[in-house]
Structure 1
Amino acid sequence: MNLPKKLQEKLQKRTDNQSIRKLSDQNHLTDFSSNDYLGLSSDVNVFHRSHDYLIELDLQQNGATGSRLISGNHQLYNQVEAFLSDFHKSESALVFNSGYDANIGFFSSVPQRGDVILYDELSHASIRDGITMSNAKSYKFKHNDLSNLEELLNRYKDADAIYVVTESVFSMDGDSPDLVRMAALVNQYQARCIIDEAHALGVFGDLGSGLIQSLNLETKVFARVITFGKALGCHGAAVLGSRDLREYLINFARSFIYTTGLPPHSLATILMSYQEMIHSKKEDALQTNVEFFKKEVSRIEMTDFFISSNSAIHSCIIPGNKKVKTIAKNIQNSGFDVKAILSPTVPEGQERIRFCLHAYNSFQEITSVLETLRIFAAI
């Protein structure tokens, strides 16, 4: 059966403007595209320790059997959430099946009618989708612009409650807001701050704990969203916050209530990935590579093409879907796995090649991929 005409037209439009998405097979190119910042997704120690831990606990089952509120709340959930609360210095933690589920669940259920949500204009799609499902009114502020945020805080100060949401590291630009000033500003207006730490966990902070803890802001924010599919190399996410917030989400977050829980193996892998991160110090190697990458960008005189970043994400702006796709393909043909980020994923004119750095990238690989970029970017 054919698609309806409107759907066919939307697909054709994507094809015409060079922005059609396609699934690709895994490759064996040098990795500069994945979120596996610490290399834990293929860590043999994590793999075997997760298996051994399940055997030790006699949890030899493949699935959770149901939602956590019915039959799926197996014993590893309590262990993982207790560990997360302790490690991240939070009153409580509630595990969700993914970062998308966590943001959808939080923003669709917590802000109420009469409340206001203020969000950074570059916030992740999962945040924006959750906000769209909320009964609260929402307004975006200019990216990392605290003056604009304060204008909105003052304008909507009479709302029943104000929620301010941003990311500690932005997934497309790799930059960060001034979180210390932001937290102070939000608290000044008696608002509540929610920080998505997806791309900060494992990258910043003592033992990879994230930017909020590195800045001692744990008690200054209402909630943190952490995800395990990036630097932890596995799956799932958690909302960190007060015990009351945890109880509220259990009762009202639909993406938590109406889905089968994660299998025991996923929870065991989360625990073992944290242990490996803590003891291996791989985040130190990652930060060394970040600093080397920045020096190499300066050496080849391409600093003006890159968005300033201290994270593992570094984006080279190359406007135009067709042009950036061509350059990315040439770099891939040279042996490096890089991805072109196209509009409408990013605004038109802000198309880019995004480089994701990892603890396992060598200096030689970093130099080579940037030299290759310089050659083809001159086309």
Structure 2
Amino acid sequence: MGKFDHLSTELEQLCNEGRYRPLKIWDSGSDTWMELSGNKILQMSSNNYLGMTNHPDLQKAAIEAIEQYGVGSGSVRSITGTLRIHDELENELAKFKGTEAALVFQSGFTTNQGILSSILGPDDVVISDELNHASIIDGIRLTKAHRKIYGHKNLEQLEDCLKASASFRSRVVVTDGVFSMDGDIAPLPEIVQLAEKYDAIVYVDDAHASGVLGRNGKGSTDHFNLHGRVHIQVGTLSKAIGAVGGYMAGSQLLKDYLIHKARSFLFSTSLPPSVAAACLASVRVLKNEPERSERLWSNTLYFRDKLQKLGFDTGESETPIIPIIVGTPEKTNKFSDRLLEEGVFAQGIVFPTVAMDKGRVRLIITANHTMDDLNFALDRLQHVGKQFGLI
């Protein structure tokens, strides 16, 4: 028996369940229209919410940083990998988020892993929404803290968890700001009120809210005017910001602690200076070009309204993340494949990312989609949706 035969068996099962998806290899950079195997395809699944990946200010900043610093930082942050550009980025992020400090990590995933595994111990309890992102789940798994899960946005269950946790040293309530598979928004004001009532820490992952919610894309804390009442804000530099990375925005004390304790910070080489410079430029663009966010929301409201009028099930979507609920993994992926044949890329999302019978194509609207783009997608979705009995 081969050493990896069990892997072949599991892959075969994925194929039989209609869940196997080979990677798509694109021949052009992230944009609204991209090239795939010689064909121009309308991209409807990118997290490039504000079209920053091709912004001339970001490109210029990245090129200038390469010329000044080279292509890499040379080390982890705690040795020689903290360059002036990293410090400037963190200062700009802290100002943008309205916090004392910010700390940049290599990705949003490593940000959650690093923070949660550092601040939680056996005397603490973490209380998490059941639909929180995988990076939160994995970060919690790395801790020795006690764990409680409350039903999605179920405030009664959250309060029950808080009531039952009075004996712990600290209680940390963790939630996504915008949930990545359904596009709905966390009831953050009510969560904060409960946390204050029971003296708990509030931790919000704004990966899909950064650049999307709040003034100039400042996130869900700003969206709900909860400044000073959310203790830990996590953001990403990989979606609306247009590059890659993640960050914590919070107190200077927490930043100083994480610099010495967060393993994903301590043992990974820092962001390339070109990436840090592009992210810095992106945050400044967010401040100076609010029309990008306005266009994003105008496109979103138009597109979701049209989908719903056609009869598609868009779930609980409130944001530019708009799922079309299809059903089984096999049907979902076939629907996605047919859309691709029609010139629209909409990735199928299936179990275990979502429930087995709740497979969906996840559409993400961006500021760079034109009205012609959106109408083309709507026309193709209507055509294929009728074939699959979805409308």
Q: Do Structure 1 and Structure 2 share a fold, with TM-score over 0.5?
A: yes
SS at match of 2:240: coil
Aligned partner of 2:33 in structure 1 is none
Q: 1:365 aligns with which of 373, 378, 382?
A: 373
Q: Which whole-Å deviations, capped at 9, do the CAs of 1:128-158 have from their partners, x for residues lacking one?
A: 0010010101121101111111111111222
Report 1:305-344 matches (<5 A). Answer: 305-344=313-352
Deviations along 1:21-75, whole A, 9 cap, x unmatched?
A: 32211133111100001111122332023323665xxx23111111111111111
Alpha-carbon distance in structure 1 between the residues aligned to 2:274 and 2:64 = 10
Which residue of the partner structure matches residue 350 of structure 1? Answer: 358
- Counterparts of 1:1-379 in structure 2 under 5 Å? 2-26=2-26, 27=36, 28-52=40-64, 55=67, 59-281=68-290, 282-302=292-312, 305-378=313-386, 379=388
Amino acid at match of 2:343: G
Question: What is the CA deviation profile of residues 137-187 of structure 1, one whole-angstrom value per residue up to 9, with x for unaligned ones?
Answer: 112110111111111111122222111100110111000121111111111
2:177 and 2:144 mapped to 1: Cα distance?
25
Alpha-carbon spacing, 1:2–1:23, altered in 2? closer, same or farther (3 Å)? farther
Structure 2 distance, partners of 1:359, 1:20, is 31
8 Å CA contact 2:65–2:273 kept in 1: the answer is no
Q: For 1:262 and 1:8, how far apart are their aligned partners in 2?
A: 36
Structure 1 contact 104–129 (Cα < 8 Å) conserved: yes
2:69 aligns to what SS in structure 1?
coil
AA of the residue aligned to 2:9: E
- CA 1:3 to 1:38, structure 2 compared with 1: closer, same or farther past 3 Å? farther
| Cα displacement (A) at 1:3 | 4.1
SS of the residue 2:209 aligns to: coil
Is the 1:331–1:369 contact (alpha carbons within 8 Å) kept by the matching residues of 2?
no
Contact 1:144 1:176 in 2 (8 A): no
- Percent of paired sites with the same residue: 30
Whether the aligned pair in 1 keeps the contact of 2:52 and 2:282 (CA below 8 Å) is: yes
CA RMSD of aligned residues (A): 1.5
Are the counterparts in 2 of residues 81 and 93 from structure 1 also a CA contact under 8 Å? yes
Q: Partners of 2:115 and 2:289 in 1: how far apart?
A: 33
Deviation at 1:368, TM superposition (A): 2.8
User: TM-score, normalized by length of structure 1?
Assistant: 0.95
Worse overlay, 11-20 or 31-40: 11-20
Q: Is contact 2:58-2:277 (8 Å) kept?
A: no
- Measured against aligned partners, the alpha-carbon deviations of 1:194-218 in whole angstroms (never above 9, x if no partner) come to 0000101111111111121122212
Secondary structure of the corresponding residue to residue 218 of structure 1: coil
Shift of 1:310: 2.4
Distance apart, 1:299 and its partner CA: 2.7
The whole-number CA distance in structure 1 between the counterparts of 2:2 and 2:247 is 40
One-letter code aligned to 1:130: G
Paired with 2:112 and 2:257, the residues of 1 have a C-alpha distance of: 14
Residues 58 and 279, structure 2, Cα contact 8 Å, conserved in 1: no
Shift of 1:331: 1.0
Q: How many pairs are equivalent?
A: 374
Partner AA of 1:34 in structure 2: S
Please give the per-residue CA displacement for 1:89-118, whole angstroms capped at 9, x wherever unaligned: 001101001001101101111111121111
CA contact (8 A) 1:292 1:363 kept: no
Cα shift at 1:2: 4.4
Kept after mapping to 2: 8 A contact 1:19/1:344:
no
The range that moved more, 13-22 or 223-232, is: 13-22
- Which consecutive residues of structure 2, in runs of 5 or more, have no partner in the other structure? 27-35
Contact 2:118 2:258 in 1 (8 A): yes
